[in-house]
A and B are shown apart, each in its own frame.
Chain A
Amino acid sequence: DIVMTQSPDSLAVSLGERATINCKSSQSVLYSSDNKNYLAWYQQKPGQPPKLLIYWASTRESGVPDRFSGSGSGTDFTLTISSLQAEDVAVYYCQQCYRGYTFGQGTKLEIK
C-alpha cells in the first residue's frame, strides 16, 4: 500500500496569513505515461463530508477559491492557502489514486 503522511498534524495561522500543508507519499504517484501526479486534496469542515479542492496535484476543482493552490511532484506535495479566511478552518486530507486509494491522516487548520 502507498502510505500518505501529512505534516504538520495541526496548524494555527493568523487570518490573512499563508497556510502550508505538506503531504509525502511512500512511493512516487507520478504516472510516467501521462506525466500526471495522481494526488488530490480535500477539505472537511465539522459535521460535513470531505470536499474536493485539488486534483492532479495542482488542478483546482471548479468553484474552489483561487487562494487554494497545490504543488509538488513525485512523492512530495503541498497545499497552500495564500490568505487564510475564517471559513477555511477545517481538516485537510491528501489522497493518492496511483495504486488503490489511500488518504493522509489529516491536518487540522485553526485560526491563531
Chain B
Amino acid sequence: EVQLVESGGGFVQPGGSLRLSCVASGFTFSSYWMSWVRQAPGKGLEWVANIKQDGNEKYYVDSVKGRFTISRDNAKNSLYLQMNSLRVEDTAVYSCARGQVTGTNWFAPWGQGTPVTVSS
C-alpha cells in the first residue's frame, strides 16, 4: 500500500522556523516527483513546492520563495520542507503528495498532513 506520513508540524512564533518530514512507503520513492501542498483552516488547497527525483529541480509558489526549501533523501525514502521566516499566513496543514514519474501534474496519493500554526 502506498503511504505517506508527515511529521514535524507544531506551534511557532512569527519569524520562527520548522522542518517538516514525510516518509514514503509502498512505492519506489526515487522514481517520482514529490510535492508539498497546504490547506489553511477552513480554506482551500495551495501547492507549495515540488522536487524532481534527483533533487536537481525545485519549484516554489511565489509566496514562499526565499523562505522555504524543499529537499529529499532517496536513501531514506524521505521528503523535507525547511520553513524559515514563518508568517501568520503560513498557518495550515501541510501534506506531502506524490507526483508522476515524468513530472508533476496531479497529486496522488496525499499524506494525512501535519499542522503548522504560526502565531504570537
Given contacts A49-B95, A49-B113, contact A93 B45 (CB under 8 A): yes
* Chain-B contact segment, one of A13-21, A78-86, A102-110: A102-110
- Which chain A residues border B35 with CB–CB below 8 Å? 101
Picked from A40, A51, A55, A106, the residue with its CB within 8 Å of the CB of B109 is A51
Is B115 interfacial (CB-CB < 8 Å)?
no
Closest chain B residue, CB of each to CB of A103: B45
Whether A95 pairs with B112 at a CB distance below 8 angstroms is no
Whether B45 pairs with A97 at a CB distance below 8 angstroms is no
Is B32 interfacial (CB-CB < 8 Å)?
no
Whether A52 pairs with B45 at a CB distance below 8 angstroms is no
Q: How far is the CA of A42 from the CA of B45 in the complex (A)?
A: 11
- Which chain A residues border B106 with CB–CB below 8 Å? 40, 52, 55, 95, 97
Which interface class (under 10, 10 to 19, 20 to 34, 35 or more) fits A?
Answer: 20 to 34
Whether A50 pairs with B107 at a CB distance below 8 angstroms is yes
0/1 interface trace, chain B 60-78, chain A, CB 8 Å (1 if under): 0100000000000000000
Which interface class (under 10, 10 to 19, 20 to 34, 35 or more) fits B?
Answer: 10 to 19
Is B108 interfacial (CB-CB < 8 Å)?
yes
Is A38 interfacial (CB-CB < 8 Å)?
yes
Whether A52 pairs with B107 at a CB distance below 8 angstroms is yes
Whether A106 pairs with B95 at a CB distance below 8 angstroms is no
Q: Which of A51, A55, A97, A104 has the most CB of B within 10 A?
A: A97
Is A61 interfacial (CB-CB < 8 Å)?
yes
Whether A95 pairs with B109 at a CB distance below 8 angstroms is no
Is A65 interfacial (CB-CB < 8 Å)?
no
A residues contacting B by CB (< 8 A) are: 38, 40, 42, 48-52, 55, 61, 93, 95, 97, 100-106
**27 examples of A-B residue contacts, CB within 8 angstroms:** A38-B105, A40-B105, A40-B106, A40-B107, A42-B107, A48-B112, A49-B95, A49-B97, A50-B45, A50-B110, A51-B109, A52-B106, A52-B107, A52-B108, A55-B105, A55-B106, A93-B44, A95-B45, A97-B104, A97-B105, A101-B35, A101-B47, A103-B44, A103-B45, A103-B46, A104-B44, A106-B44
